[in-house]
Copies of this chain bind each other. A is one copy, B any other.
Amino acid sequence: MSIKPAAPIERRTLHDELAERLRDLIIEGHLAPGEKLSEKDLCEQFGVSRTPLREALKVLSTEGLVLLTPHRGAAVSKLTLADLEEAFPIMGALEAVSGELACARITDREVSHLRALHDAMVTRHQNGDLAGYFELNQRIHQGILDAAGNPTLSHMQRALAGRVRRARYMANMTAERWAKAVAEHEDIIRAIEARQAERLGLLLKTHLANKLNTVREALTGEAVGDNSTYVNL
Which A residues are within 8 Å of any B CB, using their own CB? 11-13, 15-16, 51, 54-55, 58-59, 61-64, 70-71, 83, 86-87, 89-90, 92-94, 96-97, 101, 150-153, 155-156, 160
Q: Roughly how many angstroms separate A71 CA and B156 CA in the complex, as a whole number? A: 26
**Which residue of B has the minimal Cβ distance to A97?**
B93
Looking at the complex, which one of B12, B96, B150, B156 makes contact with A156 (CB distance below 8 Å)? B156
**Which residue of B has the minimal Cβ distance to A94?**
B93
Evaluate whether A151 and B86 lie within 8 angstroms (CB atoms) in the complex, with A12-B70, A55-B54, A59-B62 already known. yes
* Shortest distance between the CB of A64 and any CB in chain B (Å): 7
Q: Which residues of B contact A92 (CB under 8 A)?
A: 97
Evaluate whether A89 and B97 lie within 8 angstroms (CB atoms) in the complex, with A12-B70, A70-B13 already known. yes
* Shortest distance between the CB of A155 and any CB in chain B (Å): 8
Evaluate whether A152 and B64 lie within 8 angstroms (CB atoms) in the complex, with A11-B71, A97-B89 already known. yes
Q: Roughly how many angstroms separate A93 CA and B152 CA in the complex, as a whole number? A: 13
User: Do B58 and A15 have beta carbons less than 8 Å apart?
Assistant: yes
Q: List 13 A-B contacts (CB under 8 A).
A: A11-B71, A13-B70, A15-B58, A55-B55, A55-B58, A58-B58, A62-B62, A86-B150, A86-B151, A86-B153, A90-B97, A90-B150, A93-B96
Q: Which residues of B contact A89 (CB under 8 A)?
A: 97, 101, 150, 153
